[in-house]
Structure 1
């Protein structure tokens, strides 16, 4: 049976990425290092950070201190808006690598589709991958129009598109586009930032399955072929979020959760970005 360590999806460019990762957005300095270490002890092998999160250095320190071989841990970081453009993206990557203290990054993403700069940023990412310091490249918060523009003149398609997805924000159109073009979709905020864990339908499914609401939400994501990135610094919650491979939601449960669509983003809304 698969578990949080072994469950992986193969990316189009070749590497395999764990289907559950630890998100560290808004984890403060002084907390992130211990949170990443506890997650790695719990079996996580996928850590998702970004320059704008301000905790790349702690993520890198935890990876180095874990004692786990580097090639067994999948590390993602991202290019922030202020650094977009060809030359500035290359410089930003060097700065991220210095903070991480690692010899390579497994996945580097354009964090946001900044108009007039995202094409040059993508050329920089293609160069970084060709140089071997990045194993895979991708995007985040790209909607269909952004992806169509990128694919029109890119030499390489993105391996990944990371977007907000949960039953209340299902992103069906970009998910369908990514599936058609072989782009793996990662779901950030898969637990709706904790705001809807008490929703009656989610609690009903959780009671029937004898699982927690968080486990139900994450399992829903897995069964929609998503890579899920739950965030928690609490070791107990990390273990809870990882324990989603020994059960499955039945058709009735999936249907009831699919019916919760509201189209409401809990954070950034890239649908408004030209």
Structure 2
């Protein structure tokens, strides 16, 4: 029996590898044909500029936008490979262990993925908030030194960290082509939920339209961000015990349940293969989710940018 299981597993993973390679070939060929058509169109009609090309904003798909918000750089081929491997593993768990184990594995992977994405996203937001006052000060110093507003923005964002690289790249392209670059700040503010970038975009549009000075607005934005950071540090210090207690309450129950299931084989069999055990698992899962949501609502303002 064990030999048959090993043979079936090898056959399954071999077929999965073939499917992944075929998908890579198909996606690569489609992308190559698309790029070739785009290059041919640009050579035949270089004078035609579509409305989409006039926009200086960030035009990306929903999946790529979701990955960029967390600072994850993955190609379409790699995303497809990861998705195929994930669903293949899930099917393997369903075939060899059963539907309950497959459902638990699916929920666990989704929760872990959402948590990791949220942690990386909040880390990027905090980094943006911490560096933005220094960038605004660099823009003000460049303006005092006699540079134009566009050159001041380019120099300030070029010296920033990698999290501002997409913004700096699109800003450089918009300035070099003479397009409106204020929309880039609006899109960046919407992408990472950074209200000060919207204020900067409004100040830049007002300055470009009416010729007013942009320095007072940038100075007020810098002061407001620094005051917000100071309040956040005080709030984090005052609520550290509450946040630690919330994390313990959220992690300890499922960790204890997993430990009991792994250490007690009879309890594991009764829990996974009986109707009473299924009822207990569903009840515990619902209560755990409700408790986590309740704790999250109580402390959702803690640690956010």
TM-score, length of structure 1 as denominator length: 0.25
In proportion to residue count, which structure has more helix? 2
Please say which structure displays the higher CA radius of gyration: 2
Structure ranking higher on relative contact order (CA contacts 8 Å, 6+ apart): 1
TM-score, length of structure 2 as denominator length: 0.23
